[in-house]
Amino acid sequence: MDAWYDQQAGERDHTKRQDLLDKMQQKRYDAARCMPIWAHDFLWASGLRAAVSGLTLIPPFAYAGPDEDVQRKS
């Protein structure tokens, strides 16, 4: 894999470089035991209907605070 990476980095022919990249991707796919199919996203409750959104409840924490603290306006 390292040799293919070094080879594709110096390849000027677009087609040959693409073939090497495809070969690398296929090798990675074949060798994988587990392929992630989703990414963990942080859910934020914020908007006109939120009484307490959860944002900035924990000052140094960049994301929303605990979901239990999110409140909806009556």
Residues 27 and 42 occupy one common structural domain: no
* pLDDT, tens digit, 9 for 90 and up, residues 12-67: 999 999 999 999 999 988 888 776 677 656 656 567 777 776 676 777 766 666 66
* Residue 50, strand partner residues: 72
CA-CA distances (angstroms) from residue 60 to 10, 28, 56, 65, 72? 44, 38, 8, 11, 24
Q: Which residue do the tokens 């963990």 mark?
A: 40
Number of domains in the chain: 2
Specify the pLDDT at position 42: 62
Q: Which of 61, 56, 36, 34 is nearest to 46 (CA)?
A: 56
Q: Within this chain, do residues 24 and 52 fall inside the same structural domain, yes or no?
A: no
| Same domain as 45, residue 22 | no
Residue 57, amino acid: L
Q: Are residues 42 and 73 in the same domain?
A: yes
C-alpha closest to that of 44 among 32, 62, 26: 62
pLDDT at position 6: 93
Q: Based on the domain organization, do 25 and 42 belong to the same domain?
A: no
Range of the domain at 49: 38-74
The predicted structure's pLDDT at residue 46: 66
Is 26 in the same domain as 45? Answer: no
pLDDT tier at 8, thresholds 50, 70, 90: very high
pTM for this prediction: 0.45
